[in-house]
Amino acid sequence: MKGNKVEVEALLYITLHHPHIIKTYGLVNPNDQLIGSDSVLLLQEYAKDGDIARLLSAQYFVPSQYVLIEIFIQISNAMIYLAENDIIHGDLACRNALVFKSDPHDTKTI
Protein backbone atom coordinates (compact mmCIF):
# COMPACT_ATOMS: atom_id res chain seq x y z
CA MET A 1 0.00 0.00 0.00
CA LYS A 2 1.40 3.40 -0.87
CA GLY A 3 0.82 7.02 0.03
CA ASN A 4 -0.66 9.22 2.74
CA LYS A 5 -4.25 8.51 1.71
CA VAL A 6 -3.63 4.81 2.15
CA GLU A 7 -2.11 5.40 5.57
CA VAL A 8 -5.24 7.27 6.67
CA GLU A 9 -7.37 4.41 5.31
CA ALA A 10 -5.21 1.85 7.10
CA LEU A 11 -5.58 3.74 10.38
CA LEU A 12 -9.35 3.54 9.88
CA TYR A 13 -9.09 -0.28 9.70
CA ILE A 14 -7.60 -0.30 13.19
CA THR A 15 -10.75 1.37 14.57
CA LEU A 16 -13.12 -1.27 13.16
CA HIS A 17 -14.41 -3.76 15.71
CA HIS A 18 -16.82 -6.37 14.37
CA PRO A 19 -16.71 -10.17 14.70
CA HIS A 20 -16.84 -10.62 10.91
CA ILE A 21 -14.30 -8.00 9.87
CA ILE A 22 -10.60 -8.89 9.97
CA LYS A 23 -8.71 -7.27 12.83
CA THR A 24 -5.96 -4.85 11.92
CA TYR A 25 -3.40 -4.59 14.70
CA GLY A 26 -1.19 -1.90 13.28
CA LEU A 27 0.86 -0.40 10.49
CA VAL A 28 4.45 -0.95 9.48
CA ASN A 29 6.47 1.64 7.58
CA PRO A 30 9.33 -0.55 6.38
CA ASN A 31 11.45 2.21 4.79
CA ASP A 32 12.92 -0.45 2.52
CA GLN A 33 14.21 0.24 -0.99
CA LEU A 34 12.74 -3.02 -2.29
CA ILE A 35 9.24 -2.19 -1.06
CA GLY A 36 9.45 1.57 -1.42
CA SER A 37 9.97 4.21 1.21
CA ASP A 38 6.37 5.45 0.97
CA SER A 39 4.85 1.99 1.45
CA VAL A 40 2.64 1.02 4.37
CA LEU A 41 2.12 -2.60 5.41
CA LEU A 42 -0.87 -3.73 7.48
CA LEU A 43 -0.44 -6.13 10.36
CA GLN A 44 -3.65 -8.18 10.39
CA GLU A 45 -4.90 -11.39 11.94
CA TYR A 46 -4.23 -14.60 10.02
CA ALA A 47 -7.05 -16.46 8.26
CA LYS A 48 -5.72 -20.02 8.17
CA ASP A 49 -8.41 -21.30 5.80
CA GLY A 50 -7.83 -18.61 3.17
CA ASP A 51 -10.75 -17.00 1.39
CA ILE A 52 -14.26 -18.20 0.57
CA ALA A 53 -13.51 -18.46 -3.16
CA ARG A 54 -10.70 -20.94 -2.53
CA LEU A 55 -12.67 -22.85 0.09
CA LEU A 56 -15.79 -23.20 -2.07
CA SER A 57 -13.72 -24.43 -5.02
CA ALA A 58 -12.03 -27.11 -2.88
CA GLN A 59 -13.29 -30.64 -3.53
CA TYR A 60 -13.28 -31.51 0.17
CA PHE A 61 -15.50 -28.59 1.27
CA VAL A 62 -19.15 -29.04 0.28
CA PRO A 63 -21.15 -26.79 2.62
CA SER A 64 -24.68 -27.55 3.70
CA GLN A 65 -27.44 -25.09 2.84
CA TYR A 66 -27.40 -23.88 6.46
CA VAL A 67 -23.67 -23.17 6.34
CA LEU A 68 -24.10 -21.19 3.10
CA ILE A 69 -26.88 -19.15 4.72
CA GLU A 70 -24.63 -18.50 7.75
CA ILE A 71 -21.84 -17.30 5.44
CA PHE A 72 -24.23 -14.88 3.72
CA ILE A 73 -25.54 -13.63 7.08
CA GLN A 74 -22.00 -12.99 8.38
CA ILE A 75 -21.02 -11.09 5.23
CA SER A 76 -24.28 -9.11 5.31
CA ASN A 77 -23.78 -8.17 8.96
CA ALA A 78 -20.25 -6.98 8.24
CA MET A 79 -21.48 -4.86 5.31
CA ILE A 80 -24.25 -3.38 7.49
CA TYR A 81 -21.64 -2.47 10.13
CA LEU A 82 -19.52 -0.74 7.48
CA ALA A 83 -22.56 1.14 6.10
CA GLU A 84 -23.54 2.27 9.61
CA ASN A 85 -20.04 3.71 9.93
CA ASP A 86 -20.23 5.46 6.54
CA ILE A 87 -17.66 3.12 4.99
CA ILE A 88 -17.96 1.72 1.47
CA HIS A 89 -16.17 -1.60 0.96
CA GLY A 90 -15.56 -1.07 -2.75
CA ASP A 91 -14.54 -4.63 -3.65
CA LEU A 92 -16.91 -7.15 -2.10
CA ALA A 93 -16.01 -10.55 -3.57
CA CYS A 94 -15.48 -14.10 -2.34
CA ARG A 95 -11.72 -13.61 -2.75
CA ASN A 96 -11.95 -10.81 -0.15
CA ALA A 97 -14.02 -12.74 2.41
CA LEU A 98 -11.59 -14.60 4.66
CA VAL A 99 -12.25 -17.85 6.51
CA PHE A 100 -10.92 -18.48 10.01
CA LYS A 101 -12.75 -21.73 10.81
CA SER A 102 -14.53 -24.08 8.45
CA ASP A 103 -16.82 -27.04 8.86
CA PRO A 104 -19.14 -27.74 5.91
CA HIS A 105 -21.91 -28.98 8.23
CA ASP A 106 -21.63 -26.84 11.37
CA THR A 107 -22.89 -23.25 11.23
CA LYS A 108 -21.08 -22.45 14.50
CA THR A 109 -17.64 -23.10 13.01
CA ILE A 110 -17.85 -21.00 9.86
Residues 26-61: tens digit of each pLDDT: 888 776 656 656 677 889 999 999 999 999 898 888
Rounded Cα distance, 105 and 60, in Å: 12
Do 22 and 62 sit in the same domain of this protein? no
Do 15 and 65 sit in the same domain of this protein? no
Q: For 5, left (φ over 0), alpha (ψ -120 to 50), or beta?
A: alpha
Domain that holds residue 11: 1-45
Do 10 and 61 sit in the same domain of this protein? no
The pLDDT assigned to 25 comes to 92
Do 96 and 59 sit in the same domain of this protein? yes
Residue with the bigger pLDDT between 78 and 31: it is 78
Report the DSSP beta bridge partners of residue 33.
none
> Whole-structure pTM over 0.85, yes or no?
no
Do 92 and 106 sit in the same domain of this protein? yes
Do 21 and 59 sit in the same domain of this protein? no
Arithmetic mean of pLDDT over the chain? 87
The pLDDT assigned to 108 comes to 81
Do 40 and 64 sit in the same domain of this protein? no
